Amino acid sequence: MDADAIIIGAGACGLMCAVQAGFLGKKVIVLEKNSKPGAKILISGGGRCNYTNQWATTEQFISANPHFLKSSFNQWTVEDTINFFETYGIIGKEKTLGQLFPEDKNAKDIVEVFISLCEEMEQEIWCNTDVKDIEQNEKGFILSYTVGDKVKTISAPKVVIASGGLPIPKMGATDFALRFARNNGLKIIETAPALVPLTITGKDEDWYAQLSGNSVFCEVSNDEISFEENILFTHWGLSGPAILQISSYWRRGEVFNINLLPNQNILELIEEERKSNGKTLLSTLLNRFYAKKFTDALGKFLPLTKTVADLSKADMELVYQTIHEFKVKPAGDKGYDKAEVMRGGIDTNEISSKTLECKKIPGLYFGGECMDVTGWLGGYNFQWAWASGFVIAQNL
Ligand code: FDA
C-alpha cells in the first residue's frame, strides 16, 4: 500500500488533513483507534458541534508561544472554515459570542462531510487501528499498530501525529503524541485538564451544593483575564461556561473572583432604592437580580432582613464584597474525564510554525490538540484543529 503519508488519528485535525491532502492529489491513510472516525466531533457542542468562532484570532489561545498560531491562522482563516462547510451544505448560525453551529444540521453531518470526501478521493480511514510506535529508516517512517490482537506495520515517507490530547480517555484519547515526543527528546509544556468544571470541598461544600442547578450571569476573573458568561452551581462545585473558561487560566491553590452583578454597581442600586423606598429589604432588592433560592443562600454572608435604609457602612462594604468580589478557592478540577481540552502539550518551539513539521524529525508533523495550543470555549479549538490539518496537508 503506497501512501504519501500516514495520519494518526481520525479526529478534527486528521480528517481535515486527509481531505485537504486529497484535494492536492496526495494519497494518505488515516489510522484510527476507535471503531468510528470523529468521536469528539460527534459529542461536541452537545451533538451540534460548535465548529468555529467568527471572532477567532490568536488572542483566544493559550500557548507558551502566543505568536506560533499566526502563520497557521493566516493560511486557514475562519472564512475558510465557513466556506469549506458551506460548500458541503453546512450553513453556520451564530448561537452566541461568535460561536457557529450548523443551522439545520448537526455534528454527525460534519463528520459525514469528511467521510464522504475521503471516500470520493479514495483516502483510506482504517478504524480499530491502534498505533503503538513510530520508527524511522532511510525511506521514511515505519509505524507499528495493533488490530485486535494482531501486531502489524505500515510505512510511509511522511507521518502526521493528530492523535489529540488526554481528555475523555473512554472516547479513545491516548497519550500517544506526548509519549512519542518524550521518547524522542521533544520538550513538552506541562499538561493539565482545561475547560473543566472546578470542585469545592471542605467548609464551603454544602453552600455550593444547596445551589445545585442554579445558574447566574457573572464576570469571572483573575489577574490575567476575565469572562462574562453564566456560572452553574453543582453538587460538587462550579461549572458553566464562565467557569470552564477561567479553569484554563487557574492553577491549584489559586483564588479567583466572581462579580455576581457585572455591569451594575450594587451600592448605587442601594442608594437609589434608599431615595425611593428606604423600607425595601435587602433581600427584596437582590431578588430583582437573582432567583429567590440564590438570594436566600447569600443570607449566609449578608443581612438580608435589614432594610436598605438600615444598612450600615460596614454592611455596605460587605454587600459590595459579596456581590462584586466573591472569592472562590476551588479544591481542584474534575479531571480529564470531564475536561473539554488539554492545556499544554508538545512545545511549539519543536515545530515549524509555517509547516507544522517537527524541526528535529523532518517528515513528521504535529497538528491539533496534542500541541501546546489551547483555545477558549466556543469553537476556537476546532478552528485550530481544522487550520493545523490544512497547513500540514499543504506540506505532505
Ligand atoms: P481529536 O481528539 O479530535 O482526534 C484524535 C483522534 O486520534 C481520536 O479519534 C483518537 O481516537 C485517535 N487516537 C488517539 N491515539 C491514537 C492511537 N494511538 N492510534 C490511532 N488513533 C489514535 N471544540 C470546539 O471547538 N467546539 C466544540 O463544540 C467542542 N465541544 C467539545 C465537547 C467535548 C465534550 C469535548 C471533550 C471536546 C470539545 N471540543 C470542542 C474540543 C475538540 O473536540 C478538540 O479540541 C478537537 O477534537 C481536537 O482535535 P484533534 O484532531 O486534535 O483531536
User: For 19-44, how does the pLDDT look when each residue is reduced to its tens digit (9 = 90+)?
Assistant: 999 999 999 999 999 999 999 999 99
The answer on 33 and 168 residing in a single domain is yes
What is the domain extent for residue 40? 5-192+342-394
User: Residue 192 and residue 208: Cα distance in Å, rounded?
Assistant: 24
**By the 8 A CB rule, do 131 and 163 touch?**
yes
Q: Supply the pLDDT for residue 85.
A: 98
pLDDT digit string (tens) for 284-295? 999 999 999 999
Test site for ligand 1: of 7, 132, 340, 374, most ligand atoms within 8 A of the Cβ? 340
Q: Supply the pLDDT for residue 168.
A: 96
Mean pLDDT of the chain: 97
User: Residue 202 and residue 84: Cα distance in Å, rounded?
Assistant: 50
The answer on 355 and 276 residing in a single domain is no
Q: Supply the pLDDT for residue 147.
A: 97
Place of cell 505500515: 154
Q: Supply the pLDDT for residue 297.
A: 98
- Cross-strand pairs, 230: 217
Give the pLDDT band (50/70/90) at residue 138.
confident
The answer on 207 and 126 residing in a single domain is no
User: Residue 336 and residue 353: Cα distance in Å, rounded?
Assistant: 28
User: Residue 40 and residue 46: Cα distance in Å, rounded?
Assistant: 10
Q: Supply the pLDDT for residue 139.
A: 83
Residue spans of alpha helices (H) in 151-306: 176-183, 205-209, 241-247, 266-277, 282-287, 292-298
Q: Supply the pLDDT for residue 280.
A: 98
The answer on 186 and 132 residing in a single domain is yes
pLDDT digit string (tens) for 348-395? 999 999 999 999 999 999 999 999 999 999 999 999 999 999 999 999
| CA 175 vs CA 28, 155, 181: distances in Å | 23, 22, 10
**By the 8 A CB rule, do 68 and 62 touch?**
no
Distance 391 CA to ligand 1 centre (A): 18
| CATH code of the domain in which 301 resides | 2.40.30.10
Residue that is last in its domain, among 304, 333, 362: 333
pLDDT digit string (tens) for 249-268? 999 999 999 999 999 999 99
Residues 169-182: b if buried by 16+ CB within 10 A, e if exposed: eeebbbbbbbebbe
**By the 8 A CB rule, do 303 and 315 touch?**
yes
Test site for ligand 1: of 115, 147, 381, 391, most ligand atoms within 8 A of the Cβ? 381
Ligand 1 site: residues with CB under 6 angstroms? Answer: 8-14, 31-34, 39-40, 43-45, 49-50, 129-131, 162-164, 167-168, 172, 174, 176, 340-341, 368-369, 379-382, 385
pLDDT of 1 higher than 80: no
- Residue of the nearest CA to atom 25 in ligand 1? 379
Q: Supply the pLDDT for residue 121.
A: 98
pLDDT of 303 higher than 80: yes
Instruction: Kindly provide the ipTM of the predicted complex, given to two decimals.
Output: 0.99
The answer on 324 and 215 residing in a single domain is yes
The answer on 145 and 281 residing in a single domain is no
Which three cell numbers, joined as nine digits, stand for 385?
484543529
Q: Supply the pLDDT for residue 350.
A: 98
3-state class (DSSP) for residue 190: strand
Which three cell numbers, joined as nine digits, stand for 218?
457573572
Q: Supply the pLDDT for residue 268.
A: 98
The answer on 368 and 319 residing in a single domain is no
For β-strands 28-31 and 5-8, DSSP reports them as parallel
Mean pLDDT over residues 167-186, rounded? Answer: 96
Nearest-CA neighbor of 366 among 114, 72, 94?
A: 72
Residue that is last in its domain, among 296, 315, 333: 333
User: Residue 21 and residue 7: Cα distance in Å, rounded?
Assistant: 11
Distance 16 CA to ligand 1 centre (A): 12
Distance 377 CA to ligand 1 centre (A): 14
The answer on 298 and 161 residing in a single domain is no
pLDDT digit string (tens) for 59-104? 999 999 999 999 999 999 999 999 999 999 999 999 999 999 999 9
Domain count, the chain: 2
Distance 13 CA to ligand 1 centre (A): 8
The answer on 233 and 152 residing in a single domain is no
3-state class (DSSP) for residue 327: strand
| CATH code of the domain in which 60 resides | 3.50.50.60
**By the 8 A CB rule, do 217 and 230 touch?**
yes
Distance 170 CA to ligand 1 centre (A): 12
Q: What is the CA radius of gyration of the chain?
A: 25
Backbone angles phi, psi at 163, to 5 degrees: -90, 10
Q: Supply the pLDDT for residue 2.
A: 87
The answer on 348 and 288 residing in a single domain is no
The answer on 347 and 325 residing in a single domain is no
3-state class (DSSP) for residue 165: coil
Distance 283 CA to ligand 1 centre (A): 46
Nearest-CA neighbor of 294 among 326, 330, 257, 333?
A: 326
Test site for ligand 1: of 6, 154, 163, most ligand atoms within 8 A of the Cβ? 163
The answer on 206 and 187 residing in a single domain is no
Residues 255-294: b if buried by 16+ CB within 10 A, e if exposed: ebbbbbbeeeebeebbeebbeeeeebebbebbeebbeeeb
pLDDT of 269 higher than 80: yes
Which three cell numbers, joined as nine digits, stand for 60?
483566544
- Residue of the nearest CA to atom 26 in ligand 1? 379
What atom of ligand 1 comes closest to residue 168's alpha carbon? 36
Nearest-CA neighbor of 249 among 62, 1, 28?
A: 62
Residue that is last in its domain, among 333, 353, 383: 333
What atom of ligand 1 comes closest to residue 12's alpha carbon? 51
Distance 73 CA to ligand 1 centre (A): 19
